[in-house]
Amino acid sequence: MSIKAELEARSGNACELCAATKDLNVYQVKPVDVGGLDESLLACETCSSQIDNPETTDSNHWRCLNDSMWSEFDSVKVIAWRMLHRLKKEGWPQDLLDMMYLEEATEKWAAATGEHLSEDEKIIHKDANGALLSAGDTITLTQDLDVKGGGNFTAKRGTAVRNISLSHDNAEHIEGRINGVHIVILTKFVKKSFPKE
C-alpha cells in the first residue's frame, strides 16, 4: 500500500488540516528524518500551498485548526502548531496554542524550522564561509573530526553529511549522520554543498 493510500485510509479521503476532499496529496513535514507515513499528512492544495508560501496565508482558512490541532497524529499536530504560531498576531490562534499540548519530542520537531520565532529571536546557522544553513542541507566537513561514542572513528575532511538538522537553541551546532552515527557538528567545521547546475 502506498503512503498516499495509507493516508487516504487514515483520513477518510479528506485533508487532515481543513477536511477538504479535493486536490489531496501527500505533504511531508519538514525536516524529514526518515520520511514515510509518520512524517506525512494528507493535505489539500490550498493548505500545502499556504504552508510553503507564508505570504499567501489566509488566516480565515486556518480556523480549521480548531479541530485538526487535536489530531492523534504528530505530523498533523506539528503543522497545526506551526500555523497557529505563524498567525498568533490575529489573537484567536494564541488561545488555541494555550490549550495545545505536544509531547517533548513532537514539540522539538515542530520548533525545528524556527518559524515560530520572531526575527530577533531566530538563531541563524552559518557555515565556515558564512553561507546560511537550513535543515535538510548537505554539508562537507572542512577538517578531520574525531567522533566519540558510537564507534570512535575519525570523520575525514571532505565527508558529505546529507539532510542535516539545526539545533534550535545553539547557532554553532548542527546534527547529522556519519557512518550511521548521529552526531553534533560545529558549524565552523563545515561548508555548505550547493547542487551542481
pLDDT above 50: residue 170: yes
pLDDT digits (tens, 9 = 90+) for 34-48: 778 999 999 999 999
**Per-residue cell: 191:** 561548508
Q: What is the DSSP secondary structure assignment for residue 117, as one 8-state letter?
A: S
Which CATH number is 139-192 given?
Answer: 2.30.30
CATH 2.30.30 domain locations along the chain:
139-192
pLDDT digits (tens, 9 = 90+) for 64-122: 999 999 999 999 999 999 999 999 889 999 999 999 999 999 998 998 877 766 655 56
Q: What's this model's pTM, rounded to 2 decimal places?
A: 0.63
Contact status, residue 146 vs residue 154, Cβ threshold 8 Å: yes
